[in-house]
Amino acid sequence: MWSSALTHLMRQMLNTLKNKASAFKASALKPSSMTAASAKMPKSKLKPLLSKTLLTKPLGVATQLLQPYHIQLQHWVSYDGSQIPVTIVGNPSATPVLLLHAFGMDARQFLPFVLPLAGQYCFYLPHFRGFGLAAATPSSEFNFIEQYADDVDVILTHICSKHQVKSVDVAAISMGALVMWAHFNRHAQHSQTDSAQAEDKLAGKLQGKAKSNFETKAEATFETASKVKRYLNIDQSPIVHNHADWQGGVFGEKQAEVFKQFDTVLQATLPYVNQQSANGQSANGQTTLAFTQLPHQVKRQITQMETAFSLLSAGRVASQLFIKASGYLPDHKLAVYQHPTWQQKLRGLQAYLELPYDYRDALPVTQTPVIMLIGAQSQLYDPKWQRQVANILPNAQVIEIAGSGHAIPLDAPLQFSRVLKQFLVSA
């Protein structure tokens, strides 16, 4: 979607950080930093002096400055044995923060926004199945949002255990935010009476028999109900489809028109998609195709649909021009274009069209403090209906970014950085 544009922006910002770090290290090693007296000393005495003055102090400072930007990749085992790649950046002993990325994105696209804060926090950036560094591990369930919510349960439990905390601050954008609404829908903090009754009911079911998968997940519900300390929701509604009583679904009044366009592309491309059964095995016997193996016209339909969606996500003219430029693929480039996430995107799009994804029931019982960060020009989720979500939540506030569309980090990177920082420091 708008991932290629944000990826390009991320690389530019990271290169700037790397250049500054290299310049700092180079200046620390310049001979001019030696004193006149040391320059006249014999080499035998100069070497230990250099190790103290040039290496220990300047490089020690450099190491201290660069240490917060240390990035590592870990693979955490989820509920079904699958490995979830998690990019971790920041101070390991600092306050943990979980960030969830958007549809088709790479979790590392958060890096330009978290690196300046990495000294004070430890950021966890998981890659959802089928996307980013998990591109080779697609979701094994058609209802991919609910499977992602299962993965988030495991991730939250792991973070809380690792840092010895009861709950974690979470920020999520677009699809990642829909996953959080699914999480709240299952794990909202109901009254103690309701929880006790549910636990009693579960205990009765488990007497004299082995636990089913449903019951195992039900137990996890009680364990993870309060593991979200505060939540920053970035331009996402808890419902995808419009209803008679709710016109705040994706694309608003244009939903039927846009969904019809998506369905046309799906009908042309689904014959090439490796349909999977619940256990992750191929359901139609097809071998998974690389994007380069698809017919040219099919590849063009997919990339044009992605560009169209990206343009709807952007609110500023500069962002739209950037998307068009970064997403332009002439025929000779399209012929060799690598697109490892194309099947996950199409399966996810099909699920969006066919499954209800309505988590509004969670709103009145979600006691977690929520900040609704809204793009004032969002064409995906009408700001008016997002404000209505805030009105239903027991503990919510609204922040609107003027001039920004759905893709707030792309349209308004500085404002987004400020909101993220304020969200974290206001704990």
Sign of the C-alpha dihedral computed for residues 401, 406, 411 and 415 taken in this order: positive
Backbone φ, ψ for residue 320 (5° rounding): -65, -40
User: Residue 296: which residues within 8 A CB-CB, separation 6 or more?
Assistant: 331, 334, 335
* CA 198 – CA 200 distance, rounded (Å): 5
Q: 22-31: long-range contacts at Cβ-Cβ below 8 A with a sequence spacing of 24 or more?
A: 24/62, 24/65, 25/59, 25/62, 28/54, 28/58, 28/59, 28/61, 28/62, 29/54, 29/58, 29/59
- Tokens at 78, concatenated: 């989820």
* CA 128 – CA 185 distance, rounded (Å): 19
DSSP-based three-state secondary structure for 49: helix
* Cβ neighbour number for residue 44 with a 10 Å cutoff: 7
* CA 19 – CA 69 distance, rounded (Å): 13
CATH code linked to domain 72-191+227-249+360-425: 3.40.50.1820
Q: Are 384 and 80 in contact (CB under 8 A)?
A: no
- Tokens at 240, concatenated: 């995808």
Q: Which helix (H) or strand (E) holds 161?
A: helix 144-163
Torsion angle of the four alpha carbons 416, 422, 424, 427, in this order, in degrees rounded to the nearest 10: -150
Q: DSSP readout, 127-147?
A: --TTSGGGTTS--SSS-HHHH
Q: Are 375 and 288 in contact (CB under 8 A)?
A: no
Q: Which helix (H) or strand (E) holds 400?
A: strand 396-401
* Cβ neighbour number for residue 165 with a 10 Å cutoff: 13
Q: Which helix (H) or strand (E) holds 169?
A: strand 168-173
* Structure confidence at residue 197 (pLDDT): 54
- Tokens at 74, concatenated: 């870990």
- Specify whether the backbone of 164 is left (phi greater than 0), alpha (psi in -120 to 50) or beta: left
Residue type at position 211:
K
Ordered by start, the domain boundaries in the chain are 72-191+227-249+360-425, 192-224, 254-353
Q: What is the greatest pairwise CA distance in the chain? A: 87
* Structure confidence at residue 69 (pLDDT): 61
Q: At what angle do helices 342-354 and 296-313 cross, to 10 degrees?
A: 60
* Structure confidence at residue 187 (pLDDT): 76
Q: Which helix (H) or strand (E) holds 177?
A: helix 175-187
Backbone φ, ψ for residue 398 (5° rounding): -115, 135
Which stretches of 220-363 are assigned E, i.e. beta strand? Answer: 228-234
- Tokens at 274, concatenated: 């490796």
SS3 content of the chain, % helix, strand, coil (to 5): 55, 15, 30
List the chain pLDDT tens, one digit each, 427 residues: 445 555 555 555 555 545 544 544 444 444 443 334 444 444 444 333 333 333 334 444 444 444 546 799 999 999 999 999 999 999 999 999 999 999 999 999 999 999 999 999 999 999 999 999 999 999 999 999 999 999 999 999 999 999 999 999 999 999 999 999 999 998 764 433 354 454 554 445 444 444 444 444 444 444 445 699 999 999 999 999 999 999 999 999 999 999 999 999 999 998 898 654 444 444 444 557 899 999 999 999 999 999 999 999 999 999 999 999 998 999 999 999 999 999 999 999 999 999 999 999 999 999 999 999 999 999 999 999 999 999 999 999 999 999 999 999 999 999 999 999 999 998 7
